[in-house]
Chains A and B, each alone.
Chain A
Amino acid sequence: MSIALTLGPTFFHWPPDRLRDFYYRISDEAPVERVHVGEVVCGKRMPFSDPVWPEVIERLERGGKEVVLSTLAMPTLPRERRAVEEFCADGHLVEINDVTALPARAGAPFVAGPFLNVYNEATAQFLIRRGASTICPPVELPLATIGAIAAACPDTEFEVFAFGRLPLALSGRCYHARLHGLHKDSCQFTCEQDPDGLVVETLDDQAFLAMNGVQTLSAQVQAVLFSPADLDAQRIRRLRLSPHTCDMVAVARTYRALLAGDLAPVEALARLSDLDLPGALVDGYARGAAGSQPVALA
């Protein structure tokens, strides 16, 4: 069976113009079947990005992409909870990233995003009964584990977080605000200065993590570059590419060529390495190791 490509939601606080230009180019040039739009990390950013989405969605759909509305991973304020509810009532497919959205979706189809804790087939089956049609499990699960869950849920698409800095944690505290000596409520949107997140190094100058407001990501960049046969053996039906400022059209083309068998994993690795990436390439999680382990091709 064929494996599709998904462009995941943008985790970073990009200005509206950048968002619009990015998605227009994706619409015109990127060989991906599905594109997620919407703010996932911080509700305070929504007033900036919300006006952009209608035209982006229209352009993407005109370009033949399936659009998914991603919802907040940590809705807290009444305004944020209302936004989740409104997205869930929309006619588009919705990505649920917090249990808050489940009642509002009321059985209609949804994507279970990587911020939902789907660690086993029993939880997956429960969510499928409630409407989950695609499941992208938490990033720390090994590919073989996702395969074991997928084997017990034959009618559901399983998706792997294949490219990008790994979303590792969420907090009630904003680390950009804390770093700049500001309160979260008057954060001045300093996260906008770091369009791929701000790298966090150890005291020994080793790149380790990246802060993005209330989110902590890996400094390194996930690159799951398994052969189509290996992915198929684990019943993977989608690969998720997470937006960064590097050339995402080139990333999508690389994965498309890998999935088509036109590019060997080692060649795909070389192509990705040539891009202007925010960090070294890792794939430990997929192999059942520490997530920070460098890419090791079979």
Chain B
Amino acid sequence: MTAGRRMELVCPAGTPATLRAAVAAGADAVYCGFSDDTNARNFPGLNFSPQEMAEGVRFAHDHGSKVLVAINTFARAGDTDPWRKAADTAVACGADAVIAADIAVLDHMAQNHPKTRLHLSVQAAAATPEAIGFYTEAFAVRRVVLPRVLSVQEIAALNRAIAVETEAFVFGGLCVMMEGRCHLSSYATGRSPNLNGVCSPPEAVSYEEAGDATTARLSGFTIDRYEPGSPAGYPTLCKGQFKAGGKTGYLFEDPVSLNAGTMIIALKEAGITALKIEGRQRGKGYVSEVVRAFRRAVDAAEQGRDPVEIEGILASLSEGGRQTTGAYRKTWR
């Protein structure tokens, strides 16, 4: 529990330019990964070489920000060296923390780099005092990124029962499934977050125009269909339209993204140490705008300002796609 302390704003960076933009926009910490499958945003043209990482850390430190390096996929059987090397490189680059999910990576960090802060990735899906207790006892984990399935009340109860910092997602993509324990993507496409650092990968996506509708498919499975005039979205598997029990619709989750900006004060009261913005695949313009808005919102919350004022600050971010506060408001129960 660290209630009372100023909350940290943790922001995404898929490229060195985005890292600089996030720092300039007021990020307390930036998280990023190396250009390989050791991180869960393994997209072409994204991420950092070791040299870029070292320069990014230097830039961030010069401007009073931290860099957290995500090595948050699961090491490949018979070929775990790249994950160990990524951890060693992150430490050599001066990373302020390594974010990991795999016991193999956590154990390597605890054994070889005990002085570097270790954060438990959301991909580890640790949601109980016992699970978090295990990771802190076994690997001296200092912070846990919480699964996006907990309500604020559950987070408050959890924080009362544990002795480490917690970080909560406030904005961006939303997994409706328990992170790190979802194989939907590999079932359809052969590639998955845990195995490859990708979900519903672009090479498996196809669009077909027939009649007047556009159909989006993933490896041949129809995920969604868009009527003329409505924009065709990206067919993320769990946010598609399906049929079951005589009903048709978004059976798992609507195509929404998370915006828990209105919950900042509640999350602070629940004992959250850090607020995380999702989106390492996003461009620097987007990241700048979101980070700047959240910087103002978090500062306003820290100054005890009115929730309506905070909502106003973040209103500019709600254009376009639909948003949800996810599980935080307990509507999932």
Binding site for B on A (CB under 8 A): 73-76, 81, 84-85, 98-104, 115, 117, 119-123, 126-127, 138-141, 145-146, 148-149, 152, 166, 168-173, 175, 178-180, 183-185, 198-206, 208-209, 211, 216, 218, 284-285, 288-292
Chain A interface SS verdict (over half)? mixed
**B3: interface (CB < 8 Å):** no
**B133: interface (CB < 8 Å):** yes
A80 to B176, CA, bound (A): 21
Choose from B104, B130, B150, B195 the contact partner of A100 (Cβ within 8 Å): B130
User: From residue B136, how far is it (CB to closest CB) to chain A in Å?
Assistant: 11
Choose from A84, A145, A169 the contact partner of B178 (Cβ within 8 Å): A169
In the complex, what residues of A have CB within 8 A of residue B194's CB?
117, 119, 138, 140
Give the interface centre of A103, A166, A170, A202 by most chain B CB atoms within 10 Å: A202
In the complex, what residues of B have CB within 8 A of residue A99's CB?
124, 126, 130-131, 134-135
Choose from A75, A81, A179, A184 the contact partner of B244 (Cβ within 8 Å): A179
Q: Are A117 and B101 in contact (CB under 8 A)?
A: yes
Q: Are B223 and A202 in contact (CB under 8 A)?
A: yes
User: From residue A295, how far is it (CB to closest CB) to chain B in Å?
Assistant: 15
**B273: interface (CB < 8 Å):** no
Spot the interface stretch: B40-48, B53-61, B183-191, B279-287.
B183-191
A216 to B333, CA, bound (A): 17
Q: Are A171 and B130 in contact (CB under 8 A)?
A: no
In the complex, what residues of A have CB within 8 A of residue B182's CB?
168-170
Q: Are B102 and A120 in contact (CB under 8 A)?
A: yes
Choose from A166, A169, A171, A183 the contact partner of B333 (Cβ within 8 Å): A183
In the complex, what residues of A have CB within 8 A of residue B188's CB?
208, 290-292
In the complex, what residues of B have CB within 8 A of residue A73's CB?
181
Q: How many B residues touch the partner, as a band?
A: 35 or more
Choose from A103, A139, A290 the contact partner of B137 (Cβ within 8 Å): A103
**B128: interface (CB < 8 Å):** yes
A-B contact pairs, 23 of them (CB 8 A): A74-B127, A99-B131, A102-B131, A103-B133, A115-B181, A119-B76, A119-B195, A120-B74, A120-B80, A140-B192, A141-B77, A170-B177, A172-B332, A175-B252, A198-B244, A201-B243, A202-B221, A202-B243, A284-B190, A290-B187, A291-B186, A291-B187, A292-B187
In the complex, what residues of B have CB within 8 A of residue A115's CB?
181
User: From residue B33, how far is it (CB to closest CB) to chain A in Å?
Assistant: 17
A204 to B247, CA, bound (A): 14
In the complex, what residues of B have CB within 8 A of residue A290's CB?
186-190, 219
Q: What 9 A-B pairs have minimum CB-CB distances, sorted nearest first? A: A172-B149, A122-B104, A119-B74, A290-B190, A291-B187, A148-B78, A202-B222, A99-B131, A169-B182
Q: Are A179 and B247 in contact (CB under 8 A)?
A: yes
A33 to B79, CA, bound (A): 34
A173 to B250, CA, bound (A): 13
User: From residue A150, how far is it (CB to closest CB) to chain B in Å?
Assistant: 9
In the complex, what residues of A have CB within 8 A of residue B128's CB?
75-76, 81, 98, 100
User: From residue A153, how far is it (CB to closest CB) to chain B in Å?
Assistant: 11
Given contact pairs A141-B195, A170-B178, A172-B150, a sample of 12 additional A-B residue pairs in the complex whose CB atoms are under 8 Å apart: A75-B128, A100-B134, A117-B180, A140-B186, A166-B183, A169-B238, A170-B182, A203-B243, A206-B222, A208-B188, A209-B242, A291-B190
